[in-house]
Amino acid sequence: MVVPQERKDSEQGIEDMINLSDLNEQSILNNIKARYARELIYTYTGSILVAVNPYRMYNIYGLDMVKRYEGRTLGSLPPHIFAIASTSYTKMMKATENQVIVISGESGAGKTESTKLVMQYLAAVNKSGNNLITEQIVESNPLLESFGNAKTIRNDNSSRFGKYIEVFFKKGSMVGARTQEYLLEKSRIVNQASDERNYHVFYEMLDAMSDAEKAKYGLQPASKYFYLNQGGNSAIAGRDDAENFRKMTQAMDVLNFNKQERETVFRILSSVLHIGNIYFKEISNENNDNTVELGSDAEIKWISHLLQLSEDWLKQSLTSKVTEARGDRVYTAYNLDQALDARDAIAKALYSRLFTWMVEKINSTTCHAEREKYTSLAVLDIFGFEDFSVNSFEQLCINYANETLQYFFNQHIFRLEQQEYTKEKIRWNHIDFIDNKPTIDLISTKPAGILHLLDDESNFPQASDQSFLEKCHYHHGSNPLYGKPRMSGMEFSISHYAGHIKYDVTHFIEKNKDTLRSHVIELMCESKNQMISQMFKDMRDRLITKTLSKTTGRYITLKPKTATVAASFGESLLSLIDTMTRCNPYFIRCIKPNTTKTAMHFDESVILQQLRYTGMMETIRIRKMGYPIRVKFPHFIERYRCLLLGAKIPARELPNEVCAKILVTQGPTQADQYQIGATKDE
């Protein structure tokens, strides 16, 4: 019995969805489902790779697969992440044009693993004789994963920061790499939701260290620490924290961390845990104001010892604030809430400063290349779209980033395609697509975008989360993309490209300011540990501006207006997009198959929602209706003039006329398969 091709395609799925004969939501979903059932997790949409997370590892990423895909044309072999990496690498080599692979998707869709696989491929095909620089670039990943990834309700290994890795090449040889980090989630250091964890490194350290090493840092089991026990049971099925600690310390060796640097890293990590266990007792002073005193000195002594700080100064920083008036220092005692906030602020500053130092340390080892001198292949792995039971400031920033990346995708795939066809005077049907620019404007446009309103309020001493929310309602209440709560709750909602999301504004201003009091920075600068002291001196210097006085001719130190988290992140995001627009992009769309992290379980409703908001339907339609192969006239003539069977081409004949003569040789049946543009054949 002969099975019709359409039925065979329907049952087994086809590799490139552009070739679907019946194009609709259900046929796309069925195609991905049919391939997933056959354990084929990759599918093309032209040059875009759709990757459905299997929640398990397959043996399809070995050196044999690297060799199989190396140098091969996209589409000549079954869909694979190595095919995208190979095509991008080959184009960089041949066209000497910078490339970027944009890996996007929801939290839990598999972006982190996809990034590792791309880096693994580049390391394998790289022609460098210097294996050390290649190893250092690859080994930076387990280090950053330990310090920047955590278990969330959606994902056991969720990246809680964004990273843009530029790998530099010279004649096909890997000569260096630079990592840019974005928006580490600081709140996780001090708070975790039920069934979530703090950053992996804490659990790895406690699981792997010997009793003697733990005693050296005053460490106990994870369940004893407030910063680690809020989420409940900290074990992750299938994750070996002790083995990951071994990989992390091995990475430190490869990346030239010296003994003192490693020791200081563990001192800081241990101190963060001790800080979380500081508790306070409320007392009343003579004015009947509630103030606090430390409940115990035990943790203070450990922190003072580990960070090599003044014990008295540390106590003072935790229980009172310092203001300067006419050259005098005035100490004001904290109440309980203020003391707890001060404690958490110190912990967040220590860890986030350590993380930034770690990235700088990696770059100092791996980045000996100058961006202008070499071609680069960059990989963007940035947080996926997030919608939790309670969404806060971090989720707004993350979803703003995703809106911006979706716009970049729209611009490249849709608008640039349409502009190209118009420029080439090609006849075709214009396709409208969902433009998310109005949502980006709602969030970020001056002067009344939500993040700009937040910055304005953050600069007013008397402002509150409530006053910020009222301004949002005032400016955006009539915007159809913005929603007010039915009751007078502390929230607003935004219609994102990925869905309607509510944001709780509680602590928005505090998180945006992210202020660490100057006397705490000075305390850390006075550490007798040179590495810790220098970390915070660098931080202090970035916050201080010097200007030349016209009257005295001396430099005056000014207290600057500290950049807010929203402003800094917005600038970084725009800089990232600007860098990416100067590269040739490839896209990997990661899809989460279910919400329970179950291996090989395909939930149609979960996947269909993601296909809708990733613009997959429009992508397939525009590519299928258009002409994906485009060749400039000179190249076309050089390649296919043999079809003229030796006929001479008159010198005055225009290139488009020569191309027309070549194409006519294919007969009238092929006439609707091509068009001749202004500069190229389509």
Q: So which residues are the catalytic ones?
A: 107-108, 112, 155, 158-159, 384, 386
Burial 548-571 (b: 16+ CB within 10 A, else e): eeeeeeeeeeeeeeeebbbbebbe
- Residue 111 marked as a ligand binder: yes
Query: Of 93, 54, 40, nearest to 71 (Cα)?
Result: 93
Residue 51: phi and psi, rounded to 5, are -120, 115
Q: How far apart are CA 438 and CA 479, in angstroms?
A: 10
Token pair belonging to 65: 């697969």
| Dihedral sign of CA atoms 132, 379, 56, 141 in order | positive
The DSSP annotation for 302-314 comes to HHHHHHT--HHHH
Q: How far apart are CA 153 and CA 107, in angstroms?
A: 10
Residues 6+ apart with CB under 8 A from 666: 643
Residue 158: phi and psi, rounded to 5, are -85, 130
Cα–Cα separations (whole angstroms), residue 372 to 92, 369, 574, 579, 595: 14, 9, 20, 13, 43
Q: In the 8-state DSSP scheme, what is residue 649? A: P
Q: Which residue has tokens 């002073």?
A: 285
518 neighbors 539 (Cβ within 8 angstroms): no
Q: Are strands 290-294 and 280-284 parallel, antiparallel or unpaired?
A: antiparallel
- Residue 108 marked as a ligand binder: yes
Query: Of 69, 87, 85, nearest to 77 (Cα)?
Result: 69
Helix (H, G, I), strand (E, B) or coil at 329: strand
Angle between helices 298-307 and 259-276 (to 10 degrees): 160
- Residue 598 marked as a ligand binder: no
- Residue 70 marked as a ligand binder: no
* Bridge partners of residue 499, in order along the sequence: 496
Burial 145-172 (b: 16+ CB within 10 A, else e): bbbbbbbbbbbbbbbbbbbbbbbbbeee
- Residue 109 marked as a ligand binder: yes
- Residue 471 marked as a ligand binder: no
Q: How far apart are CA 151 and CA 648, in angstroms?
A: 69
Rg (alpha carbons) of the chain, rounded to whole number: 29
Q: Determine whether 530 is exposed, middle or buried from the number of CB atoms within 10 Å of its CB (0-12, 13-18, 19+).
A: exposed
Q: Determine whether 535 is exposed, middle or buried from the number of CB atoms within 10 Å of its CB (0-12, 13-18, 19+).
A: buried
- What is the length of the chain? 682
The DSSP annotation for 49-82 comes to EEEE--SS--S--SHHHHHHHTTPPTTSS---HH
CA count, 13 A, side-chain hemisphere, 354: 30
Q: How far apart are CA 592 and CA 385, in angstroms?
A: 12
Query: Of 307, 305, 298, nearest to 277 (Cα)?
Result: 298
Q: How far apart are CA 576 and CA 416, in angstroms?
A: 19
Binding residues for ATP: 105-112
Binding residues: 105-112
